[in-house]
Amino acid sequence: MIKSPRGTRDLLPPDTALWNFVEAAVRDVFRAYNFHEIRTPIFESTELFARGVGEETDIVAKEMFTWEDRGRAESDKGQSLTLRPENTAGVVRAYIEHKLWDRGLSKLFYIGPQFRRERPQKGRYRQFYQIGAEVIGPATSGSESPARDAEVLELLATLLDRVGITDWTLELNSVGCPNDRAKFNEALRNALQPVVNKMCADCQRRAVTNPLRVFDCKVPEDQPIIETLPRISQFLDEPCRTDFEQVKEILKTVAVPYVLNDRLVRGLDYYQKTTFEFTHGALGAQNAILGGGRYDGLSEALGGPAAPGIGFAIGEDRLVLSLSESAESVVRKPDVYIAPLGAGMNREAARLARELRRHDLVVDLGDESFRLKKSFEAADKMGARYILIVGENEVKADAFALKHLASGEQVTVPRGDLPGRIGKSGTGL
Ligand code: AMP
């Protein structure tokens, strides 16, 4: 038997109804904040991620699905391509490629699959889905303002509340500006020097190449050492500190609670200033529902103009896992199951189904060869509210037997009254 590849999974009904419920709610929220959808390719040139995510990150160093194009055209040959492990780099590439700065501030959102070769476990997959957004534009558009950071965080609080996730925690940090980072890196290197040989192999490498990444370390034995290291919060210069204060002030004003976590440096190299994660207790070890931050230097790193920006990515798989809502409660069951009874009745059933569906009713139907008992069983199995019997007598009278499955009540309803009768919510006839 051929199975889906390791770390991938099929999303099946009724779960897909929950996914659609989430996506519809999220689209509503984005609309209220004037975000518009962008869809970028599932694969990009490898170089984009090397530059846009950072060579030293776990994502780029270990987790990408990369291949060499075998295209016959000279321009394709040997080009290295990668399934996108995240979507910010793709969005910023598109921002530059299409000169989106011409429209001032761009507020873009995306929903789609991402790919990382991670060790699969609950809440961690090799193909997973992210719902994300980016606010990016020339500094003159206000994209640099800490008010945008606060707006994005408040949007996220609204979004989580809207899909019914209430017990989240917003963890907030500022990782400072490049100047602060240089001083901090120096201090970190010094602090790491005497202890680094007691740490894991990854940390030993990070200590040399990019000491900030030591804070990504999950190895339990390294944690006591990491606890003693200097923190970026001690190195913020005046402008960074003031910006961070403003983000916090706005959050207080709009009543979005947060906790400060100065170990939160996030996995991407280009983050500056505000970084954040939302966690949820019910998720267990993989408890981050979403993460994001400000990436003011990213556009320039990808060869574009200065374009300060801030963004986030929600793990949609984890978002759906943390919903208290059940798939059963959001899936829409058929309003009516039409049972054609006897030869020639498929045509009449099709006509009725067409009429009823035009009234936004969910209609399913059987086949004229079915005995009535079989139709009842089918209607019951799919959870239809009503069964509508279409036999020769009904067609002649232009009135149909309509039975409410839960109560067993049955009435004869003229064709013209059917939509109103079936459409009526409630349980009885
Ligand atoms: P990141 O792009 O690493 O900041 O991830 C943002 C969010 O995407 C995380 O908070 C997770 O919710 C989700 N995520 C990241 N990697 C995975 C994965 N392998 N499987 C499922 N969700 C993931």
pLDDT tens digits for range 2-61:
999 999 999 999 999 999 999 999 999 999 999 999 999 999 999 999 999 988 788 998
Any ligand 1 atom below 6 A from CB of 313: yes
Q: Are 315 and 366 part of one and the same domain?
A: no
CA 399 to chain centre: 48
What pLDDT does residue 285 have? 67
Q: Are 59 and 144 part of one and the same domain?
A: yes
Q: Are 249 and 336 part of one and the same domain?
A: no
Q: Is the pLDDT of residue 353 over 80?
A: yes
Of 270, 211, 228, the residue nearest 92 (C-alpha): 270
| Cα(9)–Cα(316) distance, integer angstroms | 14
Q: What's the gap in Å between 103 CA and the centre of ligand 1?
A: 30
Nearest atom in ligand 1 to 290's CA: 10
Of 155, 153, 210, the residue nearest 185 (C-alpha): 210
What pLDDT does residue 427 have? 47
Q: Are 292 and 375 part of one and the same domain?
A: no
277: amino acid identity, one letter: E
Any ligand 1 atom below 6 A from CB of 129: no
Q: Are 266 and 399 part of one and the same domain?
A: no
Q: Which of 116, 310, 318, 319 to mutate to test the pocket of ligand 1 (most atoms within 8 A of CB)?
A: 318
Q: Please give the average per-residue pLDDT across 245-255, as a whole number.
A: 98
Q: Is residue 229 part of a domain?
A: no
Nearest atom in ligand 1 to 319's CA: 12
Q: What's the gap in Å between 404 CA and the centre of ligand 1?
A: 46
Nearest atom in ligand 1 to 289's CA: 12
Q: Are 347 and 317 part of one and the same domain?
A: no
Say how many domains are in the chain.
2
Pairing of strands 336-340, 386-390: parallel
Q: Are 298 and 390 part of one and the same domain?
A: no
Neighbours of 73 (CB within 10 A): 8
Any ligand 1 atom below 6 A from CB of 118: yes
Query: Domain with 128 in it: what CATH number?
Result: 3.30.930.10
Q: Please give the average per-residue pLDDT across 334-350, as a whole number.
A: 97
Pairing of strands 386-390, 363-365: unpaired
pLDDT band per the 50, 70, 90 thresholds, residue 390:
very high
The strand pairing partners of 93, in sequence order, are none
Q: Residue 138 corresponds to which tokens in the numbers above?
A: 């020339």
Query: Domain with 391 in it: what CATH number?
Result: 3.40.50.800
* Residue whose entry in the numeric block shows the structure tokens 């906790």: 259
**Closest residue to atom 13 of ligand 1, CA basis:** 315
Q: Please give the average per-residue pLDDT across 203-220, as a whole number.
A: 88
Q: What's the gap in Å between 290 CA and the centre of ligand 1?
A: 7
What pLDDT does residue 414 have? 97
pLDDT in tens, 252-274: 999 999 999 988 987 666 789 99
pLDDT in tens, 86-131: 999 999 999 999 999 998 889 999 999 999 999 999 889 999 999 9
pLDDT in tens, 358-385: 999 999 999 999 999 999 999 999 999 9
What pLDDT does residue 106 have? 92
Q: Are 318 and 336 part of one and the same domain?
A: no
What's the pTM value of the predicted model, to 2 decimals? 0.91
Neighbours of 76 (CB within 10 A): 12
Task: List Cβ neighbours of 44 (8 Å cut-off, separation of 6 or more).
Answer: 81, 82, 84, 89, 90, 93
Q: Are 401 and 252 part of one and the same domain?
A: no
CB 254 within 8 A of CB 141: no
What pLDDT does residue 57 have? 82
Q: Which of 86, 115, 130, 287 to mutate to test the pocket of ligand 1 (most atoms within 8 A of CB)?
A: 130
Sign for the CA dihedral angle at 291, 246, 89, 22 comes to: positive
Any ligand 1 atom below 6 A from CB of 248: no
